Structure 1
Amino acid sequence: MKRRITFSLIVLVLLIVCALGFIFITNDKSNSTNESVKKTSISSSKEAAKKKDLPNAKQSDWNLVLVSRKSPKDEMNPTLATVNGIQVDQRITSAVQEFLEAAQQISPAEHLISGYRSVSYQEGLYQSYVQAEMNGQGTVNSSGKPISEEEAIKNVQTYSQPPRSSEHQTGLAIDMSNIDSLNESQYAKQIAEIAPKYGFVLRFPEGKKAETGIGYEDWHFRYVGLENAKYMTEHNLTLEEYLKLLPA
């Protein structure tokens, strides 16, 4: 009789342990699922918030055209106008002039260095840079000899884009600095801050090379329009990232 009672108690204890284990596992899975749902919900909420106040813009808008190594374009032939000796798309003439004047309030030496460049002009410029690197006027390899064409191209693409891949061909991009060499300017951050007021964004900001394919350039500004520039700046978006949020 005692053995039967003992055996029954053992079975009862095992059943209780199994039941508790099942409850624990179920709760653990439930918690994991809830946590996953929470993370997904938070992520979705952030995306929703990001899209909630989107400007009324489309990927196909003329001022949002994307030209890069991943999105090359043939010659675009924009109608041009001249601002302080630099050609730009005539639709942004006033914006360029006003932006330049505002920048000169920060640094009187601020001036336009480059604007529109045709595909053929870009090709000549690009090839001249590659040749200069190969001729030893640029970097040399570890053996002290001029670098190969492949190495030269890799170096050049850190500061100049191949033909059909430079957004200067749009007429919507300008290079502006208080020095001609396009090295980092002490006024660059101040000027980048005022750029959105005139419809411009700093096209290649710090920490965004993964998105743009190009390192930080404090002199290269791109016209995208007032509302787009404001939104991109507030949300720290490159043109590539912004376009993904817009309808085609």
Structure 2
Amino acid sequence: MLVLAICALVFLVHTLLKKDTATPTKSATTSQSQKSSAKPKASTTEAKKDKNLPDSKSTDWDLVLVNRDHPKDEMSPDVVQIDNIWVDARISDATEKFLAAAQAINPAEHLISGYRSVAYQTTLYEQYVAQEMAADPSLDREAAEKKVQTYSQPPTKSEHQTGLAIDLSDVDSLNESTTAEQVAAIAPEYGFVLRFPQGGITSTGVDYEDWHFRYVGVANAKYMTEHHLTLEDYIKLLDKK
């Protein structure tokens, strides 16, 4: 009897030890697997930005990019005259409304420049280079061009040839507007953005210009302004969609 009792006790201990070292249940294993393989959620900011990103493409007509890295030959847009300038016919209504809104802020606001052909831009650019060299004889042409390109672009590299850019100010001197910030603030309502904002030179290659506005469409303009994006930055973002 004693032997049988000892055998029973050994069997019981062995059974209990086996149960303690058993593998996890299927449900527990699945839960751990799902937990380890789950992808991290996007941050609230990223999710919001993606959700609100306009359904636009970098190839849309109103997002055409023209700069020193993306030159274009003469584009010959269909233009119409507004006051003393010409703009792409597709933005004539937006331009007129933007001008009226700007003049409501400051009656002195007026259009300075719009569409410029490659030929005209060539003449204008050469005049600026000559002026810089005359003002500072120590400048060679390369140095003069570098200086000019902080406020005017070489032919085929100026977006004025698109017909989508306008210069608007209350004065005829760059960066001397008295109501520049107020006008820039309402620009997105009409599909325009301040093309060369302060701090944007890294992506645009152009210093701050208080009078140069570019039409990109209302949805694009509002998004770009809200997220402090230049056109170059915005196009890169769209290409990543």
Category of TM-score, reference length = shorter chain: 0.7 to 0.9
In the other structure, the counterpart of 1:78 is 77
Q: Which amino acid aligns with 2:234?
A: Y
Report 1:162-241 matches (<5 A): 162-241=154-233
Q: For the structure 1 residues 47 and 244, does the alpha-carbon distance in structure 2 shift closer, same or farther, using more than 3 Å as the test?
A: farther
In the other structure, the counterpart of 1:54 is 53
Q: Which amino acid aligns with 1:92?
A: I
Runs of 4+ in 1 over 6 A off after TM superposition: 41-44
In the other structure, the counterpart of 2:27 is none
Aligned partners of 1:150 and 1:65: how far apart in 2? 28
Report 1:118-129 matches (<5 A): 118-129=117-128
Report 1:110-125 matches (<5 A): 110-125=109-124
Q: Secondary structure at the match of 2:210?
A: strand
In the other structure, the counterpart of 2:26 is none
Structure 2: gaps of 5 or more residues: 1-39
Aligned partners of 2:43 and 2:201: how far apart in 1? 25
In the other structure, the counterpart of 1:161 is 153
Structure 1: gaps of 5 or more residues: 1-40
Q: Which amino acid aligns with 2:155?
A: P
Q: State which structure, 1 or 2, has the greater radius of gyration over its C-alpha atoms.
A: 2
Question: How many equivalent pairs are there?
Answer: 201
Offset, 1:182:
2.4
Aligned partners of 1:204 and 1:157: how far apart in 2? 13
Aligned partners of 1:130 and 1:43: how far apart in 2? 49
CA RMSD between the two structures:
1.6
Offset, 1:227:
0.5
Offset, 1:184:
2.2
Offset, 1:119:
0.8
Aligned partners of 1:113 and 1:217: how far apart in 2? 13
Offset, 1:50:
2.1
Offset, 1:46:
4.1
After alignment, is 64-73 or 45-54 more displaced? 45-54
Offset, 1:48:
4.1
Could you state the TM-score of these two structures normalised by the residue count of structure 1?
0.77
Could you state the TM-score of these two structures normalised by the residue count of structure 2?
0.79
Aligned partners of 1:67 and 1:44: how far apart in 2? 33
Q: Which amino acid aligns with 2:50?
A: K
Q: For the structure 1 residues 43 and 166, does the alpha-carbon distance in structure 2 shift closer, same or farther, using more than 3 Å as the test?
A: farther
Q: Which amino acid aligns with 1:66?
A: L
